[in-house]
Structure 1
Amino acid sequence: MTPAGTAVDAVVIGSGHNGLVAACYLARAGLSVEVVEADGVLGGAVSTVERWPGVRVDRGSSAHVIIRHSGIVEELALAEHGLRYLDCDPWGFAPAPAPGDPGPDGQPLVFSVDLDATCASIAAACGPGDAAAYREFVAVWGPRSRAVVAAFRDRPGPAQLLRSFWPLGAPAGGRPRTPGGDLAVDFLGSGDALLDRWFTSERLKAALAWFGAQSGPPMSEPGTAAMVGWVALLHDVPPGHPVGGSGGLTEALRRRLESDGGRVTLGDGAARLLVDDGRVTGVETMSGRRICAPVVVAACHVLATRDLAGEHAPPALAGAAPPLGNGFGLVVRALTDALPAYPGVAPAQALRGLQLLCTDRAQLAAAHGDWRAGRLPRTPVPLAMSFSADDDTLAPPGQHVVTVWGQWYPYALADGADWDALAGSEAARLIAAVDGFAPGFAGSVQRLYVQTPLRLEQELSLLRGNVMHVEMGLASMFGFRPTPALSGHRVPGLPGLYLAGASTHPGGGVSGNSGRTAARVVLADRGLPARTRAAAGRLVGRLRGSR
């Protein structure tokens, strides 16, 4: 622990994965860094706890997608610090509408890294036309999605976005030049419109739309096409789940940080920013400890940062009002004595990735419509994950952990109903929805832990239960996130304060990109190479001490 009044080069507020990524890059560059966290658990929404004796349960995210395409795991050598991913392969499964039927309706959809295997599954379930179309879709959207990955790695300025997306129109792979208008239609259009242009099977469209909707918006909204197009990258690198739980990532980041001399303090988060002469000079923690630093990286919610700044918040921060939405989803963590069993499907085909339990986009549209009206979904649409199928560190023999995610549950209900009173019944409805596809699942459930939108806010400091911090619609992405004035990771009018986390570009999900970008901005602002500057500072300090 940093002694009271001790100076460091940088303080990071929040031990979520973005905060830890920022801290690691700063410490790697030679800065002295401390991360302060109010929670007693490391990792924020990327954390795992022993929920029941011998049972490790994730508190937030479980399947890690974007970070596996970011290069961060490799740049920080996190495997050397204990991170080991289990590939989710097959990465997606959508059940057959009529299991046992000898025709296509009796065939499930299984999305594997192996594109040939995926296309064979699509051909059996949806016909050869859609299988051929999917193969072409991956060929077209692979380069486009890699451009999105490149854009996520940098600040969202015009030059950076142009550098990422300009090459997309060029002829490649025997394909002619793509007119800019066609690219604009695809990227600015809705996911539903994109799916309708490419495929005929509603089952296939529903599975891909349910995957795309995990970013937040329904696939009927403009600008959601790229969220569907991301599936093309999963045939290169699938989602992964760290051995031992999602918190394996943040534990590895902590070990990496400590190896470079950084530290993490839990249970004593920032209470306010220290400001002198219009510049940030450090933080005061909840215990009254003062940590002096010329750099503060706030990797918490942007509105929490505003509160920490208090009267010192400049107009860009004081007036920030990004759209938070009205909740996002509800999570049921189930301890079971058996895994979900989908009729006619081998466990290895169904249980390693995302169980996309939706067969028609009308189900998604209805759930979203209910959410907009402030109602509970009349028909819950579940997404299930059961990583204990491959990871025996999560539960004792004979037991399993199954996570069931239900999307579009309002934080504030139109009828004023109390979430604490509703938690049990809504969890039971989600479990029953899974049981409708995997008969007998409800009977396997032994214990439940339910995270309502209210509980997500209370447990993980996710305002209004929004796991993305700020809505992920087109008007809240890239240079508009969290607001145009704050989109560059700096806070205009309060030098020394930087922003990271899901409130900033590129948004929610497990990516680490905003933490890395914030660290790069800090290092660029310091001018000299950070390691050189830090070493010079230490030398000056020793010389002064020898007088």
Structure 2
Amino acid sequence: MTQKYDAIIIGAGHNGLVCAFYLARAGLKVRIVERRDIVGGAAVTEEFHPGFRNSVASYTVSLLQPKVIDDMGLVDHGYKVVERPISNFLPQEDGGYLKLGGGLERTQAEFRKFSSHDADVLPEYYDALEGVADVLRNLALKSPPNLGDGIKTLIDGALQGRNLAKLSLSRKRDVLELFTKSARNFLDSWFDSEAVKAAFGFDAVVGNYASPDTPGSAYVLLHHVFGEVNGKKGAWGHCIGGMGTITQIMAKVCRNAGVQISLEAPVSRVLVNGGKVAGVRLESGEEIVAPRVIANVGPKILYERMFHEGDIAPEFLRRIKGFKAGSGTFRMNVALSELPRFTCLPAPGEHHQSGIIIAPTLDYMDRAFLDAKSDGWSKQPIVEMLIPSTVDDSLAPDGQHVASLFCQQFAPELPDGRDWDLEEDKAADTIIDTVEAHAPGFRASILGQQILSPQGLERKLGLAGGDIMHGNMSLDQLWSARPILGNGSYRGPLKGLYMCGAGTHPGGGVTGAPGHNCAHEVMADQSLWTRLRRGS
């Protein structure tokens, strides 16, 4: 018997759950179909070695929208985030180190070890970034103006451009530079020290298969600073229980609101009838009927794999094929018998509760990208290590630890037709060697590990090219042009087709913003259709 719903959502990642919540709260009958046996998408916590659990892919909290947290009542259901005492810790090639965060004065004191000028200019730099970040925060929960919507495009563009227009000339210059310059060019205009520039420049290559010299990479730097933790702007933290706690709570809230969630229910095809979506067919053969299909999968997977030939216009498909995806990301989770002892700071301390960044200079980051382009992966990768068990004892046995290794740069597709499944162990050894060079004994402390190459990330989590952002965060793929100009307001090219994932505005990260915004566009269309049907 065919089941009918008001909306079907493909994928139970966090954005799909957020979207489902708002639609169900508005009275729609919603069903989520998820191909895996667990909700959460890339935000899941799993046991990867006996007794050791960790966030498998997404691994830290900052960008989740406060409105989403409040509307879904996540805190009431156990959502708790512990803020990092300092943001990042960067061992240096000369045996020193730099700590970033913990307050302006502490960071200035750290910077003075490298450059008095950089310490003095830091408040002005923070003000510049914060001024632009505020504009992004205001846009995050707004649908971009959609080219082709006539007068509505002009009105939406004018309304959303007001905050930008109000900026001082100096801030408008900052906006222009951040959206067009490379991270290196932007940081060179502010700082002298290579260590200081690396401390900020790391954010420009997170989930970005690019060099810090790539034009536009300064925007990615900015994208990672417009979040907050517990009301503190720009802070980062750890969710107790791992990232999967967030999505498990979201799923509970959705079910309480009447959402039906089906696991192990992979979609084979989106059904189309007369130029409109009609539902989905699962790989099991089951067909689920609904006038709205909302995709929480990336644009490339949706349009290149989930429609019959002829359902999507050739010109649209051509542009989707040109949509850039592949973040150069390699993820590892490791079970440790003890904390790593860094040569520059061996004793346990607050640095073990921060982001540990092995990428001491922008030149190091550039070489990592060039290596990946020519050979497939970096000889000395960019590594961010987090050890969440230092603040969350639910993740590992007493006295032992788990660490996540978020690593760049690793080619989404290896040169010469090589297969990631055959190469991933070698790449993992390179990563461990890189950490070992700064923390002797690290390799010997590893009790077990989980390895996810770009291919592994795609296979396990449905991320095309292993892209944690569902598509590059470049100027040509942002705001109204995410994923395609003319389809930037969460609506696909077929009536009743919507997109709610990170391949839409404002992009990647555990934000909930695409899910929130898409739901409101669905409800706006529902309201319009209801009025037209009633003749009012």
TM-score (norm 1): 0.88
Tell me if 1:266 matches 2:232.
no
> What amino acid does structure 1 have at the position aligned with 2:307?
A
Show the counterpart of 1:490. 491
Tell me if 1:144 matches 2:140.
no
Residues 261-293 of structure 1: per-residue CA shift (max 9 Å, x gap): 112110012222233332222222222222222
Show the counterpart of 1:205. 197
Tell me if 1:300 matches 2:289.
no
Secondary structure class of the residue paired with 1:408: strand
> What amino acid does structure 2 have at the position aligned with 1:277?
G
Pairs aligned (count) = 516
d(CA) in 2 for partners of 1:353, 1:13: 35
* Unaligned runs of at least 5 residues, structure 2: 146-152
Report if the CA contact (8 A) 2:269-2:308 is conserved: yes
Report if the CA contact (8 A) 1:151-1:160 is conserved: no
Report if the CA contact (8 A) 2:63-2:511 is conserved: yes
| Structural mapping, 1:72-471, within 5 Å | 72-99=68-95, 106=96, 108-123=97-112, 125-157=113-145, 160=156, 163-164=159-160, 166-168=162-164, 170=166, 177-178=169-170, 180-181=172-173, 183-216=175-208, 217-229=210-222, 230-231=224-225, 236-306=233-303, 307-311=305-309, 313-315=311-313, 317-319=316-318, 320-325=320-325, 328-342=328-342, 343-344=344-345, 347-471=348-472
> What amino acid does structure 1 have at the position aligned with 2:328?
F
Tell me by how many angstroms 1:257 deviates: 0.4
d(CA) in 2 for partners of 1:441, 1:27: 48
d(CA) in 1 for partners of 2:498, 2:386: 35
Tell me by how many angstroms 1:529 deviates: 11
d(CA) in 2 for partners of 1:248, 1:313: 38
Residues 1:8 and 1:326: Cα distance change in structure 2 (over 3 Å): closer
d(CA) in 2 for partners of 1:362, 1:127: 18
d(CA) in 2 for partners of 1:161, 1:402: 44
Tell me by how many angstroms 1:365 deviates: 0.5
Residues 467-487 of structure 1: per-residue CA shift (max 9 Å, x gap): 222222222222222221332
d(CA) in 1 for partners of 2:371, 2:92: 26
Tell me by how many angstroms 1:20 deviates: 1.0
Tell me by how many angstroms 1:231 deviates: 3.9
Report if the CA contact (8 A) 2:336-2:400 is conserved: yes
Residues 1:442 and 1:42: Cα distance change in structure 2 (over 3 Å): same
Residues 1:260 and 1:191: Cα distance change in structure 2 (over 3 Å): same
d(CA) in 1 for partners of 2:115, 2:157: 38
d(CA) in 1 for partners of 2:254, 2:207: 29
Tell me by how many angstroms 1:376 deviates: 2.2
TM-score (norm 2): 0.89
> What amino acid does structure 2 have at the position aligned with 1:498?
Y
> What amino acid does structure 1 have at the position aligned with 2:220?
M
Moved more, 19-28 or 233-242: 233-242
d(CA) in 1 for partners of 2:161, 2:130: 13
Any runs of at least 4 consecutive aligned residues in structure 1 with deviations exceeding 6 A, and if so which? none
Residues 376-435 of structure 1: per-residue CA shift (max 9 Å, x gap): 212222111111111111111122111112212113222333322322222121112112
Secondary structure class of the residue paired with 1:65: coil
Tell me if 1:20 matches 2:17.
yes
Tell me by how many angstroms 1:191 deviates: 1.5
Show the counterpart of 1:540. none
d(CA) in 1 for partners of 2:47, 2:489: 38
Residues 329-382 of structure 1: per-residue CA shift (max 9 Å, x gap): 211211110122223366442122311111111111111112233532122221
Secondary structure class of the residue paired with 1:214: coil
Report if the CA contact (8 A) 1:151-1:161 is conserved: no
Residues 1:301 and 1:169: Cα distance change in structure 2 (over 3 Å): closer
Aligned partner (choices 26, 30, 34) of residue 29 of structure 1: 26
* Unaligned runs of at least 5 residues, structure 1: 100-105, 537-547
d(CA) in 1 for partners of 2:376, 2:141: 37
> What amino acid does structure 1 have at the position aligned with 2:134?
R
Secondary structure class of the residue paired with 1:57: strand
Report if the CA contact (8 A) 2:205-2:212 is conserved: yes
Residues 1:179 and 1:205: Cα distance change in structure 2 (over 3 Å): closer
d(CA) in 1 for partners of 2:306, 2:449: 35
Report if the CA contact (8 A) 1:90-1:349 is conserved: yes
d(CA) in 1 for partners of 2:66, 2:211: 25
Report if the CA contact (8 A) 1:523-1:529 is conserved: no
Show the counterpart of 2:8. 11
Moved more, 284-293 or 18-27: 284-293
Residues 1:115 and 1:179: Cα distance change in structure 2 (over 3 Å): closer
> What amino acid does structure 1 have at the position aligned with 2:44?
S
> What amino acid does structure 2 have at the position aligned with 1:356?
I
Report if the CA contact (8 A) 2:15-2:501 is conserved: yes
d(CA) in 2 for partners of 1:164, 1:192: 29
Percent identity, please. 29
d(CA) in 1 for partners of 2:372, 2:487: 29
Report if the CA contact (8 A) 1:404-1:431 is conserved: no
Secondary structure class of the residue paired with 1:338: coil
Secondary structure class of the residue paired with 1:379: strand
